[in-house]
Chains A and B, each alone.
Chain A
């Protein structure tokens, strides 16, 4: 007995060894990466089953421990460590609490893996349901009078299997089973044996679909024991006419379908509501209102994205909907998971533990080195240099603004802040103009015109605008196809390309039917120019109903049409006589046919007028781009309409009538100013122009249901003109270059200036992020672009903190380099796009954006600073600037930074899990984005534990931290490239080679520095 006890003790001690964790981590990380990448090819479910829900798997042909095995080892190792070696001491309490939390997390995960059941409920509006269907598990079922009396899982089905049971009076023999069946026409010679639809439908196995739910599971079977009804039949998943048989007054149905689990209460769909971002098809929110009935109690509940309903161990989530048919259906995910509170409690404990550990580490204080770089800095401040540099950089974006006034016939400072609804949000005309000009010209300003001036001209003077070179055509073949002359800058006007557009229209119509990925570059260019041509036409025709028309009115009509003081008439004026003109034309045609030669001059003019009116109307149909008129009639949500859409949809109102009158006056004033451009600006006209703009603004805002719009619009225009992200990036680059010069030439003043420029960069960056928050009324990170500029900002602040601690320019170096790189990267995601984009329904939650998203991006920021810091350490060692021992203080702070990075990424990842639990019904689903975040955590944990157990030290430890750049890039951006999983709102394309190049570059740099350092050591 004693012997056994000793053996067990020895075993327990061995199982508690930290080496196990250290060697386990790489296996876990490899499995994580392989399992994540495999999801793209295999599909999510199959990859989960193969890699994460298995004990043994294979990578290629090499056997590899599966997720269950690795997690079991991890759990046992941590449990033994906790139970045997975790002595409660104040200094170690943080780490012990963290371990306890992780143990609970794993226990909860195991509990969930064993017991949780996922399914869905489809409820049509007005109907009641109480049976949940499984997503994946198929079953062959025998129903007696609509009640299931027998079922067998699809995994147990095979050809030749015979099924009999006292519950049914016949025998079934499976002839063909296929998990994913292909249905084809049954050959004539086989038809005799089959009955029902099976006579004509043959099932045969085919390759599994990536999306597990898309597999069509079915069987061909032989039925015996029912006399004349004996024969061969087919049945498959969602088959509308499954075979049914009669026996002694009972009806038996053979059904293939998803496993059904009855609830002991029912749900009735009262109402389903989908709310879109105004003016778009993009869903802002989904909401199901249901009535729950449990025995004699009944009560209403509301289920929304991120707001599930929990009852009796089930959680119901808004998953999908179908409103394409006559009846609206809501689709609810249903999860039964009694282990779901584990992650919540565990997360709390882990977060507390990590924070305590960090606090205990930071106090007592770390001593910081004062001089690692040469003594060059902070002995004087050359503020004049800073002022000159700063002023010149700030002046840069303002130059274009000054030019704008000069080029525009009327001042546009107020015009550009007028509101418009575009891409789901109300923005200033300036932003609208920039987005479109960027599409046509690839820049948000023209050489001689600002975006707002270009828009004003396009709206108020379309003839002039059509002749202005705006379309940048880079594709040489397209230029040749359109017969365009070669120019130094390939810029062409709408008039110049219009012939090419009309000739190539049949080709474009064909191309638009095809998948864009399959098109050649020339074809894409052709399609793009057509799309841009349509957009431009829409802009040019936006006001064609209120602009003066060049028409000759026949005498009898002329006197009936009211004219403006300038003597012009517009479409709206003609609209008053339109019906009479049409009726008169019909009479003429009835009397004289369609031959114009038989018409009198007056008749010809009448027919011509009718034709022109028809053309005007038709050319404006579906012109919905310029949504400047808030509807008085649709306010939940409020529609904003273009002038043409307003008329065509019958949404006109006294308010819209007044507003259009003001716009008409603006157009008139613009044209007067253009025509009198050689004369000095008329003060009366200028005053009228400003008054009309003010009237448009005040009336539009008064009709908008959104509040505080006015100053948000002005702030956005200020943001557009300032270009804060571009300026701050420029400042970071300048700071970095100056720092290098200062260090290279040992010039203190230049290095000092670089510090202040870096701080100026952070200030402008802060202004930019703050403005965005105010404009969008949401936390700073919601899109990939925003995450990049936020991570950059965080990295800048962390670097500033380091600089304050070290005062040796390391902080400036790290900050300016990281921020400059990220700033440049952000441009990739902002070119040609409105960076103020709307969010999909799942992201429409202030709480989770402010918690999970901010925490995880804070983690990215700290990780990147740690990584760049590690690069600096490696560089200093490799080039013999300092010996390893002397760098201990620097590496000490690096370790602290990495610990903070671990804190934020861990808490962020856990918060992400909780959000996923709230929205999708599961804490962890091995989704690529989740795996990416976990990869960072595992990498940091591996390095921390490697350091503690002395497995990773010195150069290798720094190299590990340096490699965090790649780990973060993969987790942050790389997983979005896979295009699979539930984080579909973040999917991107086209950065594969950039990411691969960056990874290769980092591998070369880091290994080069290690080799250099090793050689130096020798």
Chain B
């Protein structure tokens, strides 16, 4: 009465399914694991900054500068003011950083203060050695009189803000707020390995 063909077919299917499950479940782990993919997107940061010229208000020899002059170095385009408390804390660390890597880093510290006297007074408060280091060729203090650079060109409103330009002169990242630039981890994270590798 029972159709053997049907019974056998059903049993084969059941056994095959169970067999397949166990075969699959007890496979060895992949010897060459798949790489974990990371989503890539257009790198909008890596754009050239707008052209502009600037000068170190303290030195007549350093006028009519532009960013191209610093190609080959990491440029920290730093926006600050003497009335901004975090900027005051961060400023000497930037001087030290520029002093540590004279061939790799240039700091362009754009002040939004209303007069240069205020900046002068601020700089004079530092110990002598820091004051000296602030005069290094790779540390430029710019007075942004009408905020044409900081606000009109780069739209930086909250201080301090720092735009990092890579060695090819492309904008790489923007740091909002202050950083301890002398911390090795921060240097590695924000400025990249290239600094320590050279």
Task: Give chain A's interface residues, CB within 8 Å of chain B.
Answer: 9, 12-13, 82-84, 86-88, 100, 103-104, 107-108, 289, 292, 294, 297, 299-302, 310-313, 338-342, 345, 349, 562, 572, 575-576, 579-580, 583, 630, 632-633, 635-638, 646-657, 660, 703, 705
Q: Does B193 contact A (CB under 8 A)?
A: no
Q: Does B155 contact A (CB under 8 A)?
A: yes
A651 surroundings in chain B (CB, below 8 A): 174, 176
Q: Does B153 contact A (CB under 8 A)?
A: yes
**Complex-state Cα separation, A406 to B50, whole angstroms:** 41
Q: Residue B9 contacts which of A87, A100, A705 (CB distance < 8 angstroms)?
A: A100
Assess whether A575 is in contact with B151, with CB atoms less than 8 Å apart.
yes
A103 surroundings in chain B (CB, below 8 A): 10
Knowing A82-B10, A104-B14, say if A299 contacts B30 (CB, 8 Å).
yes
Assess whether A705 is in contact with B42, with CB atoms less than 8 Å apart.
yes
Q: Does B127 contact A (CB under 8 A)?
A: no
Knowing A345-B17, A635-B42, say if A82 contacts B25 (CB, 8 Å).
no
**Complex-state Cα separation, A431 to B91, whole angstroms:** 47
Q: Residue B17 contacts which of A108, A289, A294, A653 (CB distance < 8 angstroms)?
A: A108
Minimum CB distance partner of B144 in chain A: A576
Assess whether A654 is in contact with B155, with CB atoms less than 8 Å apart.
yes
Binds A, one of B33-41, B57-65, B183-191: B33-41
Task: Give chain B's interface residues, CB within 8 Å of chain A.
Answer: 1-3, 5-7, 9-10, 13-14, 16-18, 20-22, 24-26, 28-30, 33, 36-37, 39, 41-45, 47, 49-50, 81, 83, 112, 114, 146-147, 151-158, 161, 171, 173-174, 176-177
Shortest Cβ distance from residue B69 to the other chain A in the assembled complex, whole angstroms: 19
Complex A-B, nearest 7 residue pairs according to Cβ-Cβ distance, in ascending order: A652-B155, A650-B176, A650-B158, A299-B33, A313-B25, A657-B155, A705-B41
B25 surroundings in chain A (CB, below 8 A): 310-313, 338
Minimum CB distance partner of A630 in chain B: B44
Assess whether B154 is in contact with A310, with CB atoms less than 8 Å apart.
no
**Complex-state Cα separation, A858 to B117, whole angstroms:** 77
Assess whether B18 is in contact with A632, with CB atoms less than 8 Å apart.
no
**Complex-state Cα separation, A29 to B35, whole angstroms:** 48
Shortest Cβ distance from residue B175 to the other chain A in the assembled complex, whole angstroms: 9
Minimum CB distance partner of A103 in chain B: B10
Q: Residue A703 contacts which of B44, B154, B158 (CB distance < 8 angstroms)?
A: B44
**Complex-state Cα separation, A340 to B21, whole angstroms:** 8
Assess whether A297 is in contact with B29, with CB atoms less than 8 Å apart.
yes
**Complex-state Cα separation, A1017 to B37, whole angstroms:** 71
Assess whether A83 is in contact with B6, with CB atoms less than 8 Å apart.
yes
Assess whether B45 is in contact with A83, with CB atoms less than 8 Å apart.
no
Judged by DSSP, the binding face of B is loop
**Complex-state Cα separation, A647 to B151, whole angstroms:** 10
Assess whether A660 is in contact with B155, with CB atoms less than 8 Å apart.
yes
Give 17 new A-B contacts, CB below 8 A, not counting A310-B25, A647-B157, A654-B153: A103-B10, A292-B29, A299-B30, A300-B36, A311-B29, A313-B21, A313-B25, A341-B21, A345-B17, A562-B146, A638-B41, A647-B155, A648-B158, A650-B158, A653-B174, A657-B152, A705-B44
Shortest Cβ distance from residue B160 to the other chain A in the assembled complex, whole angstroms: 10
Knowing A104-B13, A289-B36, A341-B24, say if A86 contacts B43 (CB, 8 Å).
no
Assess whether A652 is in contact with B157, with CB atoms less than 8 Å apart.
yes
B161 surroundings in chain A (CB, below 8 A): 650
Assess whether A83 is in contact with B2, with CB atoms less than 8 Å apart.
yes
Q: List 7 A-B contacts (CB under 8 A).
A: A84-B2, A633-B174, A635-B43, A647-B158, A650-B174, A653-B155, A705-B41
B154 surroundings in chain A (CB, below 8 A): 652-654, 657
Assess whether A12 is in contact with B156, with CB atoms less than 8 Å apart.
no
Assess whether B2 is in contact with A654, with CB atoms less than 8 Å apart.
no
Assess whether A83 is in contact with B3, with CB atoms less than 8 Å apart.
yes
**Complex-state Cα separation, A301 to B36, whole angstroms:** 7
Assess whether A635 is in contact with B44, with CB atoms less than 8 Å apart.
yes
Assess whether B81 is in contact with A345, with CB atoms less than 8 Å apart.
no
A84, A313, A635, A650 — which one has the most chain B CB atoms within 10 A of its CB?
A: A650
Shortest Cβ distance from residue B22 to the other chain A in the assembled complex, whole angstroms: 7
**Complex-state Cα separation, A339 to B41, whole angstroms:** 41
A648 surroundings in chain B (CB, below 8 A): 157-158
Minimum CB distance partner of B151 in chain A: A576
Q: Residue B41 contacts which of A310, A349, A562, A636 (CB distance < 8 angstroms)?
A: A636
Assess whether A310 is in contact with B24, with CB atoms less than 8 Å apart.
yes
Assess whether A579 is in contact with B83, with CB atoms less than 8 Å apart.
yes
Q: Residue A636 contacts which of B39, B147, B156 (CB distance < 8 angstroms)?
A: B39
Assess whether A86 is in contact with B13, with CB atoms less than 8 Å apart.
no
Shortest Cβ distance from residue A661 to the other chain B in the assembled complex, whole angstroms: 9
Minimum CB distance partner of A647 in chain B: B157
A88 surroundings in chain B (CB, below 8 A): 5
Minimum CB distance partner of B113 in chain A: A579
